[in-house]
Amino acid sequence: MRAFYIAPFLIFAICGQSPVLAATVEPQAAVKLDPLAEIRETALKSGQAYALLESLTTDVGQRLAGSENDAKAVAWAKAKFTELGFDRVYTEPVRYPVWTRGEESLVSVSPATQKFSVAALGGSMGTGAKGVEAEVVQFDDYKNLESAAAGSAAGKIVFINYQMLRTRDGSDYGAAVISRVAGASAAAKLGARALIIRSIGTDQTRNPHTGVMRYDNTPTRIPAAAIGNIDADLLAAMIKRGKPVTLKLQLGARTLKGDYVGANVIGEITGAVKPKEIVAIGGHLDSWDLGTGAIDDGAGVAITMSAAALIGAQATPPKRTIRVVLFANEEQGVYGGKAYAAARVKADEVGQQVIAAESDFGAGRIYSLKTNLSDARLAGLAPLLRALAPLDITLGANDAGGSADFGPMREAGAPVADLQQDGTKYFDIHHTARDTLDQVDAEDLKQNVAAYAVFARFFADE
């Protein structure tokens, strides 16, 4: 048989005619694919999402909520939705405070003079121009801090040294992130003057991981910042040598007066049969400021915009409307997600949401579909699962959360799903300066687009 094999492209090249001729050699190429298989194969060949991500990270860059680049990103998203042929492109207002970073530094002044990599936590107050200079006291984790004796950090800088564990699903994030979110108030209760945490991250680098923190109702508020894992090792080594270690922290961080009005940016591919019924997908348009927000969450923006655009370009239109929601300010308090749900509740439109899924866990391959559907709808998932199988995606538990931004819709009673991405390496670069385009594998991104396209197309036609 070998002598008779002629590659399809050679037939085309030799004959100069339609590649339909190739079907006589490889008959399966002529089989008409159903819309799910068709969109999967189209997506796996498309560089559209990568081009969108390259544009967002190159032409806009970081998108800290309320910054100039936040407004640029909104304009970028509207223009791209329009370019991509979405039927309806609109924004909905989202109100939030504006936090800014400013200059920052952390040094040890004794017994050795060392410079540490440092980043203020989002929402932290600053130290004032003089900074905070004090001896450091180390706690192994948040629990030890919370249960420490009153006054045990009086006048000191608290250092929480918890090392986050690496997992595929990011399941240690909850245990780790409490130091970042609640550490400052817990340290303030003990009389501390500032908080330093080992970064909530799995990397072995000097990059600090920023991320949001909150002050509870503890009367005293203190500044809070993260240092990179290697820097945390150095600080711990200095402390271990036994002499008191004095640090000087300077943070120029502050929250501006008054709120900013940003926007959720929405693009729709209108359904041909039931246009008022909505399949919602999306990501968040804002990012932290240290990198260019490529994996958090430029990837989610690009994946879902492209998945919907490719469906919009199919010959057969979807029956229901596919809506891509690019949320404002997820990072500092899910402001966009809350505003989106509040607007749907107010307009009594929660029931129109057939399903929703947000892509916000990087750009790793999707391995599982989690749902929160009725038994009746679960029973009908077979065609979806068959279409996802070639992407190595299997059915997971029926306990989906809807990610951060569709969480409020889930709480309002709407069905949601989670297309779970492999997050093994996600927390190496999450919220750091290394969240840049080069971290994204173009082939993995295609798999994500294919999964979202199949998912959205299935529920649009279900």
Residue identified by tokens 């649009």 is 460
CB neighbour class for 346 (10 Å; exposed up to 12, middle 13-18, buried from 19): exposed
Angle, helices 335-346 vs 403-411, to 10°: value is: 30
**Are the C-beta atoms of residues 139 and 148 closer than 8 Å to each other?**
yes
3-state secondary structure 137-186: EEECCHHHHHCCCCCCCCCCEEEECCCCCCCCCCCCHHHHHHHHHHHHHH
114 is a site residue for its own copies (CB under 8 A): yes
Residue identified by tokens 């298989």 is 37
117 is a site residue for its own copies (CB under 8 A): yes
For its own copies, the binding residue among 31, 129, 149, 237 (CB under 8 A) is 237
238 is a site residue for its own copies (CB under 8 A): yes
Catalytic sites, residue numbers: 330
**Are the C-beta atoms of residues 109 and 246 closer than 8 Å to each other?**
yes
Which residues touch 352 (CB under 8 Å, ≥6 apart)? 276, 277, 278, 344
Is the CB of 150 or the CB of 237 nearer to its own copies?
Answer: 237
For its own copies, the binding residue among 42, 48, 69, 403 (CB under 8 A) is 69
Residue 168 beta carbon to its own copies: minimum distance, rounded to whole angstroms = 24
CA dist., res. 305 & res. 338, Å (int): 21
Question: Interface residues for its own copies in 123-182 (CB under 8 A)?
Answer: none
The pair of three-digit structure tokens given for residue 139, joined into one six-digit string: 């706690």
Among 28-36, 60-68, 120-128, 339-347, the segment contacting its own copies (CB under 8 A): 60-68
Among 11-19, 64-72, 155-163, 358-366, the segment contacting its own copies (CB under 8 A): 64-72
b/e 394-406 (16+ beta carbons within 10 angstroms → b): ebbeeebebbbbb
For its own copies, the binding residue among 18, 24, 58, 374 (CB under 8 A) is 58
The number of residues in the chain equals 462
Is the CB of 202 or the CB of 368 nearer to its own copies?
Answer: 202
Residue 428 beta carbon to its own copies: minimum distance, rounded to whole angstroms = 12
Among 59-67, 211-219, 279-287, 370-378, the segment contacting its own copies (CB under 8 A): 59-67
68 is a site residue for its own copies (CB under 8 A): yes
For its own copies, the binding residue among 138, 185, 205, 447 (CB under 8 A) is 205
Question: Interface residues for its own copies in 281-320 (CB under 8 A)?
Answer: 289, 292
348 is a site residue for its own copies (CB under 8 A): no
CA dist., res. 250 & res. 115, Å (int): 12
Residue (of 159, 211, 218, 161) closest to 188 by Cα position? 218
For its own copies, the binding residue among 61, 131, 298, 407 (CB under 8 A) is 61
Among 53-61, 195-203, 272-280, 393-401, the segment contacting its own copies (CB under 8 A): 53-61
For its own copies, the binding residue among 47, 111, 351, 390 (CB under 8 A) is 111
**Are the C-beta atoms of residues 319 and 271 closer than 8 Å to each other?**
yes
Is the CB of 67 or the CB of 368 nearer to its own copies?
Answer: 67
For its own copies, the binding residue among 233, 411, 444, 462 (CB under 8 A) is 233
249 is a site residue for its own copies (CB under 8 A): no
For its own copies, the binding residue among 113, 219, 257, 399 (CB under 8 A) is 113
**Are the C-beta atoms of residues 336 and 283 closer than 8 Å to each other?**
no
> Residues in the site for its own copies, rule: CB under 8 A?
54, 57-62, 68-69, 72, 103, 111-115, 117, 204-206, 230, 233-234, 237-238, 241, 289, 292, 433-434, 436-438
